[in-house]
Structures are given as structure tokens and as C-alpha cells.
């Protein structure tokens, strides 16, 4: 039970959550903005992370008496610097974000005026936060500044409450990272219950928990390869001199140090210069193959396969891998739809959005190839009277009317005089 029901709130979910009906009161707006003000800003740790650090952070997050996730989120932030992981996450999110949605009534009929209400920046930010929760785990979103847009209620923005300060097991936000949860600010009841929406289960730590070891190993391999390149990548310059004069020795040392591209040097008599090439050539098999393995493991965990982001060698295999990815995208889309329907829309209804009896649905319009589309339109034109406005809207052209073709000239009667 999330707090006490508000007297003005409608019955049902809103009454259970204890949200006030609207946020039109200036005092309510002040309270909404104060949640992030209560949080003390702390710098994230950018120190080097290893497997032992990851295990300790995981153990801290699982502590039933004082669960703390801030160290785990520091590792997640470090892991997301990986370009391959960022590409995989972006690809998976974008497949869902490009899907067309609609707001429909109980019969499934779209209500275009309500669909337009969701074509706003704050909802796109909410979708981003919801999809990020797949990787980071539980997320808390706060809505600010209830306004109007085109005659409909709207929010000025929605922001992600810093995950490092949120302790979902207790339903509180701590002012300073590491504080005792019992001293935190509750967001499930009280003054903040009407401005926040939770995404994901409280015990969910996200997919990045499984991906972090691969990212740590990959960063180590890259660092070791750089070190290998410093030691064995360049030829070694060896100078030999018979002189015992320190000035001549210093001069020779300076020449060797500065000997670069198109370099030259004037050495004293008795000085020899030798360039010793490295013979070590197994770095590729040691480091690059391990980096490739890390990338493939990341691809499998995020995308369920490898060929939609790595190089593929077979068209048939690529099609199979794409089907695997599509199944994963459908699951993400179902999660987002359930989050909007069961968490966001009840929240919006409480704040005056006219969404009673409506649902968020994906507009699963079939994708036709251009050839298939031409055949369908030809079939419609040959058998039915089609409204010209369909083509005007689809192809963004102004249709003035049906084109009149000149009648074909009549053919003269054949002259049969020669065939009598």
C-alpha cells in the first residue's frame, strides 16, 4: 500500500497510490522540485575497477539490512565507456523506439488526439529511462511542472532520480550516497508519492551486472596490448661509444633520444649505432583474439546473437540471427507497453490526463516491400473506388482531379471497292 488515498483522487489505482488529483497548486510544484534538491551531489568514482571490486559492489547491493548500489553503478558507468557495448545497447533500444504506437480505447480503436498527447519530449525521455532499466535495473523517474500543450495537460519534463541515491528495497531516496536507508526520504508515500513513477522490480540489478566482467577483461587486454606496443612495437636503438668524455656521452644520448623520422646524428669517432628489430609477433593471437571474444560475449548478452552488429559470413545465418533479435525486441516492447499501461497511465489519470479506459498499444502495421505495396494499390484501384485523399496523404502530393485523356480518333471505314 503506497500511502493514504487522497480525498479528491479517483477510485482505483490512484486511490491506492495516494496521489493528489493534480499538481496545479504552487505548493505542490515546489514540493515536486524539492526531491532532487534534497540529494547531495557526489562525484562518481572513476578509479580503475577489477573483478574483486565488482564482486564487493555486488555483495553490497545484496546486503538485506543496508543495500547500497552506488559502487555497482560506478562500475556500470565505467563499463558503458566501451564502444562495442554502447553500440549494442543503442541498437537494441532503437529497434523498440522506432516502433509506431497508439492510444486506443477498450475496443482497440485508436484515439488520434490522445496519441498526439504522447508525441512530446517528456514521454520520449520516459521511454529512454524505461529501456535503460533493462541494463541498470530499477529506475525512479520524477515528473516536473504540470502544464498544458494544445489544450491537453502535459509535463514540462521528467528526470531520472540519480540511481546511486535510490534504495528501492526500502522505497527511499537518501540525501547522501551511503546513508542509512532508515534516514531516507520516502517516495512511495508522503509529499513525493504524486510526482514519481517506478520502473522495474526493486531487486533488479540490470543486465550490466553480467556484462561488467567482460568489459573489465577487455579494458585490461587493451591496456596490456598498449604496454606490449611500447616495449616491443618499436625497434630498439643501441649506441656504442669508446669515449669516456661525459659531454660526448651526453651528446650521443641526446642524439639517440631525438632520432626520429628522417633523423640524423653526428657521433664522435669510435661510436657505433645499431637498430635492433623486435621478433615478437604473437600479440595479435594473445590480445586481439581475447578482445574479440569479449565483444562476442557482449553481443550475445545484449542482442542474443552477434551477426547484426559484427561481421556476418552467411545470409541465411544472418536471417536466423535477425529472428533471434526480433524476439528480444518484442520482449522489450512488451515490457515498455506494460510499464506505460500499469504505471504511467494511472499516474497520468490522477493528474488530469483524459485517459480513462485507454491503453497504450503498438501499431503493428505490416511492413510491405515497395513491390508488394505497388501490387496492393493496383489491386485496390482495379477493383474498388479509392478516395484520392489516400494517395494525397501518403505521397504528400496535391491531387486536383482525375486526368482526362483525349478520345482516340475514329478509324475510317475500309474501302471495299477493290475487293468486289
SS3 label, residue 193: coil
| Exposed / middle / buried, residue 369 (Cβ in 10 Å: 0-12, 13-18, 19+) | exposed
User: Cβ atoms within 10 A of the Cβ of 115, count?
Assistant: 18
Q: What is the pLDDT of residue 7?
A: 33
* Closest to 63 (Cα-Cα) out of 205, 197, 256, 275: 205
Secondary-structure breakdown of the chain: helix, strand, coil percentages, each rounded to the nearest 5: 50, 10, 40
Q: What angle do CA 256, 260, 266 make, to 5 degrees?
A: 45
Q: What is the pLDDT of residue 275?
A: 61
Q: What is the pLDDT of residue 10?
A: 34
φ, ψ dihedrals at 274, nearest 5°: -130, 135
CB 241 within 8 A of CB 207: no
Q: What is the pLDDT of residue 276?
A: 62
* Total number of residues shown for the chain: 420
User: Cβ atoms within 10 A of the Cβ of 149, count?
Assistant: 13
Q: What angle do CA 406, 411, 414 make, to 5 degrees?
A: 180
C-alpha cell at 331: 520482449
Name residue, grid cell 508515500: 189
SS3 label, residue 225: helix
User: Cβ atoms within 10 A of the Cβ of 75, count?
Assistant: 23
Question: Global pTM?
Answer: 0.73
Q: What is the pLDDT of residue 277?
A: 59
Q: What is the pLDDT of residue 13?
A: 31
The CA distance from 199 to 343, in Å, is 8
Strands (E), 55-203: 101-104, 139-149, 152-160, 166-167, 172-173, 185-186, 196-199
CA distances from 142 to 260, 300, 355, 383 (A): 58, 33, 20, 54
Weakly modelled stretches of the chain, pLDDT under 50: 1-34, 262, 420
Q: What is the pLDDT of residue 123?
A: 94
C-alpha cell at 170: 526500502
User: Cβ atoms within 10 A of the Cβ of 2, count?
Assistant: 17
The CA distance from 27 to 8, in Å, is 17
Q: What is the pLDDT of residue 143?
A: 92
Amino acid at each position: 500500500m503506497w500511502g493514504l488515498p487522497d480525498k479528491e483522487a479517483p477510485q482505483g489505482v490512484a486511490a491506492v497510490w495516494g496521489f493528489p488529483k493534480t499538481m496545479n497548486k504552487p505548493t505542490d510544484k515546489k514540493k515536486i522540485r524539492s526531491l532532487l534538491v534534497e540529494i547531495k551531489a557526489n562525484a562518481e568514482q572513476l578509479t580503475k575497477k577489477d573483478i574483486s571490486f565488482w564482486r564487493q559492489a555486488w555483495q553490497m547491493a545484496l546486503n538485506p539490512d543496508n543495500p547500497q548500489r552506488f559502487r555497482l553503478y560506478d562500475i556500470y558507468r565505467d563499463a558503458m565507456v566501451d564502444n562495442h557495448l554502447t553500440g549494442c545497447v543503442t541498437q537494441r533500444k532503437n529497434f523498440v523506439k522506432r516502433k509506431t504506437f497508439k492510444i486506443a480505447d477498450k475496443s482497440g480503436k485508436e484515439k488520434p488526439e490522445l496519441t498526439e498527447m504522447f508525441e512530446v519530449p517528456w514521454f520520449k525521455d520516459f521511454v529512454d529511462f524505461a529501456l535503460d532499466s533493462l541494463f541498470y535495473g530499477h529506475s525512479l523517474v520524477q515528473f516536473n511542472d504540470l502544464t498544458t500543450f494544445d489544450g491537453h495537460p502535459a509535463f514540462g519534463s521528467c528526470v531520472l532520480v540519480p540511481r546511486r541515491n535510490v534504495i528501492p528495497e526500502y522505497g527511499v531516496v537518501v540525501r547522501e550516497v551511503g546513508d542509512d536507508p532508515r534516514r531516507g526520504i520516502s517516495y512511495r508515500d508522503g509529499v513525493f508519492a504524486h510526482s514519481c513513477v517506478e520502473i522495474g522490480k526493486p531487486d533488479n540489478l540490470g543486465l550490466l551486472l553480467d556484462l561488467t566482467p567482460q568489459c573489465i577483461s577487455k579494458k585490461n587486454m587493451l591496456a596490456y596490448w598498449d604496454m606490449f606496443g611500447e616495449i616491443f612495437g618499436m625497434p630498439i636503438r643501441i649506441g656504442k661509444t669508446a669515449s669516456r668524455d661525459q659531454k660526448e656521452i651526453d651528446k650521443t644520448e641526446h642524439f639517440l633520444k631525438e632520432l626520429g623520422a628522417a633523423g640524423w646524428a653526428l657521433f664522435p669517432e669510435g661510436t657505433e649505432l645499431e637498430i635492433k628489430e623486435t621478433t615478437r609477433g604473437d600479440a595479435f593471437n594473445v590480445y586481439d583474439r581475447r578482445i574479440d571474444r569479449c565483444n562476442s560475449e557482449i553481443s550475445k548478452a545484449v542482442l542474443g546473437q552477434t551477426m547484426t552488429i559484427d561481421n556476418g559470413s552467411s545470409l541465411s545465418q544472418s536471417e536466423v540471427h535477425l529472428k533471434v533479435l526480433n524476439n528480444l525486441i518484442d520482449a522489450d516492447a512488451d515490457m515498455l507497453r506494460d510499464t506505460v499501461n500499469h504505471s504511467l497511465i494511472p499516474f497520468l489519470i490522477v493528474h488530469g490526463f483524459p485517459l480513462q479506459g485507454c491503453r497504450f498499444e503498438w501499431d503493428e502495421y505490416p511492413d510491405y516491400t515497395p513491390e508488394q505495396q505497388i501490387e496492393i494499390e493496383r489491386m485496390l484501384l482495379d477493383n474498388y473506388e479509392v478516395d484520392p485523399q489516400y494517395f494525397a496523404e501518403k505521397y504528400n502530393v496535391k491531387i486536383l482531379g482525375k486526368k482526362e485523356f483525349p478520345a482516340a480518333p475514329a478509324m475510317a471505314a475500309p474501302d471495299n471497292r477493290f475487293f468486289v
